[in-house]
Every structure is written in structure tokens, then in C-alpha cells.
Structure 1
Amino acid sequence: MLVALGGIWLAWAVYVKRLVDYEQLYQRFKPLHTLFKEQFFTEKLYHKVLAEGYLLAARDLYTVFERIAIDGFINWLSSAVVKAGEFLRVIHAGKLNWYVFGLTVGLCVIAFILVATIAGGG
């Protein structure tokens, strides 16, 4: 309460009665004025520490995720396709007897599954 009354008295003395020169008072307390005007520099501190820190961490995490997860998966997938192509190149020799053999084996597997399912009661 005493501080509030002191502030009221100071405002009255400076602005109403002109007992103290406003410019002289301003120059004397300029650092304090700047501190209050800039709200104790909390916004600048927040921006420097939290906002820029968050953006830096997000950029680094994105880079790590991009290199490890995305690039790793794409590289693995492309090498798997190349290996599958190499394997199929060996099997796919252009000879009709291999195609008939593969078709026969596939039909036998399907027939076995159907018989096992029907005989098993399922």
C-alpha cells in the first residue's frame, strides 16, 4: 500500500506540480525504464532459449529420422528388389519345363491345403 501511495505521489509531483523534471528523471532511471519496458526481457529469453532450442532439436531429430528410418528403409527396399530380381533371373531362364514344374508344384501345394482343410473339419 505504501509503495502504491509513493507511486501516486511521485506521479503527482512529476506531472502535476512539475517538482521534478521528467527528462532528468527519465535519464537517471533509463536502465530501469528499459527493463520494465522490455518486460524483464522474458520474451527475448523465451525466444532464444525455448523457441530456437525447440527448432534446433526438431531439425536435428528430423535429420536423424530422415537418414536412419526413411533412407534406411528405402535403401533396404531397393536392395531387396535387386536381390529378388537376381533370384528370379536365375529361375526365369525362358525354358518351358521350369514353368510347368513351378505350376505343378503350386497346384500341389494348393490341393494339399484344400484337402487338409476339408479333412480337418475346418
Structure 2
Amino acid sequence: MREGLLDKTNTASNVWADTAYRSKANEDFMEKQGFVSKVHRKKPHLKPMPLHIQRSNAGKSVIRSRVEHVFADQKSQTGLFIRTVGITRATMRIGLANIVYNMRRVLFFERLIASA
């Protein structure tokens, strides 16, 4: 599936993911395709995580959390299901949820600027 997910026409070469996507095959594929892996590292089994890996994962989490919060907000709006008949209506429902999210973000930033 990684061939369909990673696209060279994307503007960025960094690949952000959690530990479930770290494997030798995925790392080799990303290196051959010119992508930069920002995939979290796993904790060694029955050992404490080394401090440099903890710091690296923490830095990656700062970026990933910004994206994950968008998906969490959409999930809270729709639940796990989009109850429509047909892909066109489902696509429209997702598009409208995205517009609502963006409008709420604009209002948040306007309030933030106004209070400063």
C-alpha cells in the first residue's frame, strides 16, 4: 500500500507516521524513493527507551499532533460513521465538515488576535 500512499508530486519529502509503520521494508522503500523518514521509533522490549530516541519521538509528536487534532475533531463531528446513501453524499458531508472546521479555526485565530 505504501506505493499508493507516498506520492513524489507531493510538495514535501518527509513521511510522518507512528511506530506501526516502522519496518525495514518501509524504511528501505522510503530511502530508495527519496523520502525522509520521520516515523516514530519503538521502545526496546523490556528495556527503557534511550533518551535520544525519547527526544526524537517527542519532536516528531509535536508535528504529528497538529494533524491528528484535525482528524480527532472530524471524528467528534461525525462519529466513526458517515450515514448517507451514496459516495457523492458522503463526499459532500466530509467536505462540509472540513469547511466547518476551517471556519471555526478562523474564528479562533480572530479571537486570539483581538485579545492580544
- TM-score category, normalised to shorter length: under 0.3
Give the structure with the larger strand fraction. 2
Larger Rg: 1
Structure number with higher relative contact order (C-alpha < 8 Å, ≥ 6 residues apart)? 2
Which structure shows the bigger proportion of residues in helix conformation?
A: 1
